[in-house]
Amino acid sequence: MPPAPQPILIIETGQPVPSMRRHGGFPHWIRVAAGLRRDDAHVVDVEAGQTLPDADGFAGIIVTGSGAMVSHRLDWSERCAAWLRDAAHAGVPLFGICYGHQLIAHALGGEVGDHPAGREMGTVMVETSPQAGDDPLFAGLPRTFAAQATHLQSVLRLPDEAVLLAGNGHDRHHAFRWRESAWGVQFHPEFGTTHMRGYIRARADALAREGTCPRTLAAAVGAAPWARRVLRRFAALALRQPRPAPMQ
């Protein structure tokens, strides 16, 4: 019999806001959005102190979002960054989401910190770069596409050898690739409209203090299928499955 395929490791770096935990945790949202079967994924909660295994045992690695801040350099986060740096240099496929995007950039020598313009939240438009046309995850996407976003910190400077893949007027570094097999996306491809509206409701007081009407922001939330396609393409690439057909 052929050996069982290697699973994808999902590194859990935080929990959703309390009001959204009834829908499960970030690993569940990611697995469903990526089209992964339960046996295709293995979860390690590094924020809770679980030990990271040998990266060679996995087809790829996905790093979740978090309410933590990369710039605070918490012990568990720095240990995870060192592990990710080794995995990236070994060529293991990596995909970081929001905090995971920032953590991979930090691990590889980029700069992460508070965004000078503050919070970005809601369904936002992201524009691909010219280099995206040759990227395995971004090739064939529209020049601009919708994505769900919620963050206060950003990648302020990309690591050396990183290629910019997407950005917008708020955050120039919404997506990058480092060398051939490590990606980061600031947006949340695992978020559906329910997740995005739930996060806006949870941050309503903060948004109001910042001068943003949470009801207006929630009303503007829309679907983001192309952003989700990026995550599905990574899962297919890592598991060596055929790439999903282009959307019509």
Is residue 174 part of the annotated active site? The answer reads no
Is residue 12 part of the annotated active site? The answer reads no
Distances in Å between the alpha carbon of 2 and those of 5, 56, 207, 235?
Answer: 9, 18, 53, 21
Q: What angle do CA 197, 105, 192 make, to 5 degrees?
A: 20
Q: How far apart are CA 65 and CA 11, in angstroms?
A: 9
| Residue 233 CB coordination number (10 Å) | 23
The pair of three-digit structure tokens given for residue 114, joined into one six-digit string: 């508070």
Q: Which residue is catalytic, options 106, 151, 188, 195? A: 188
Beta carbons of 135 and 105 less than 8 angstroms apart? no
Spatial strand order of the sheet with 94-97 comes to 41-45, 8-12, 60-63, 94-97, 182-185, 175-178, 162-167, 120-128, 144-151
Q: Which residue is catalytic, options 47, 80, 98, 120? A: 98
Q: Which residue is catalytic, options 80, 101, 190, 195? A: 190
Contacts for 188 with CB less than 8 Å, ≥ 6 apart: 65, 97, 98, 147, 148, 149, 150, 195, 196, 227
Beta carbons of 111 and 130 less than 8 angstroms apart? no
Is residue 98 part of the annotated active site? The answer reads yes
Q: How far apart are CA 117 and CA 31, in angstroms?
A: 32
Q: Note the helical H segments in the chain.
A: 26-34, 75-89, 99-107, 193-202, 204-209, 214-219, 225-238
- Active site amino acids: 98, 188, 190
